[in-house]
A = this chain, B = another copy of it.
Amino acid sequence: MGKGSRTRGLGARHEDRRRQIAEALLAIINRHGLDAVSLRDVAAEAEVSLGAVQHYFRSKDEMLLFALDYISERGTERVRQSLGVGEQPPRAVLRDILAELVPTDDERRAELRIATAFTARALVSPKLADHLRAGYDALHDVLVLLIRHAQDAGEVSTDLDPERVAAALFALADGLGTHVLIGHGSPETAHAVLDEHLDRLFATAP
């Protein structure tokens, strides 16, 4: 068992501290963008010294990578919860998940701003791209699963390829989210478009 899972003694709070610093980092990315991040700013935001930050992250790159994994984990955790609760029909779950990609409240907005920042940087950082892609793939797989369930329940036509449908819905929601984020189109319109597409999808059965 690695030291990361220690619950007592020295190093017990190690991961906690890393997360705390990562949250300070994410707050700065949300406010000023990823390229405006300096280790000193992160330290100030987290109310620790620069030395402390350096102690928990060997380099800035490592910190960025950790923060991406951290926020990615948080996202998939929320998706897992959407999947878990009650016996909600596939369509409702699907809608919930896709709606998370279109910012309405400030929290969702912040997360999407951060995700967009990481996406842009991933274009020039292969390592970051790998981690980001993992998150995308995971969400894609969940969508495929949900569509399969809907097909099994006779709510969606089995003529459709779940992979294709998932790719389409994902891209649509993602695109709508970005557009809302930069102020092109309202959240209401975006949600309406999303519902319209779900209506069409769930109207093709049997």
Contacts and interface: CB of A to CB of B under 8 A. Distances in A.
B132 A182 contact: yes
A175 interface: yes
Nearest to A126: B183
Interface stretch (A62-70, A89-97, A133-141, A148-156): A133-141
Interface residues of A, number: 47
Given A33-B121, A123-B116, A182-B132, A192 B172 contact: no
B170 A171 contact: no
Please state the number of chain copies in the assembly. Answer: 2
Contacts of A164: 189, 192-193, 196
Contact of A181 (B34, B123, B182): B123
A19 interface: no
A4 interface: no
Nearest to A31: B124
B174 A170 contact: no
Contact of A184 (B113, B140, B181): B140
Contacts of A174: 175, 178-179
Given A116-B119, A120-B117, A193-B168, A178 B179 contact: no
B171 A176 contact: yes
Contacts of A71: none
A121 B178 CA distance: 13
Contacts of A129: 182-183
Given A35-B34, A35-B35, A119-B120, A193 B171 contact: yes
Contacts of A192: 164
Interface in A96-115: 113
A122 B197 CA distance: 29
14 contacts: A35-B35, A36-B124, A113-B123, A119-B120, A119-B182, A122-B182, A129-B183, A136-B179, A167-B176, A170-B175, A171-B190, A171-B193, A174-B179, A175-B178
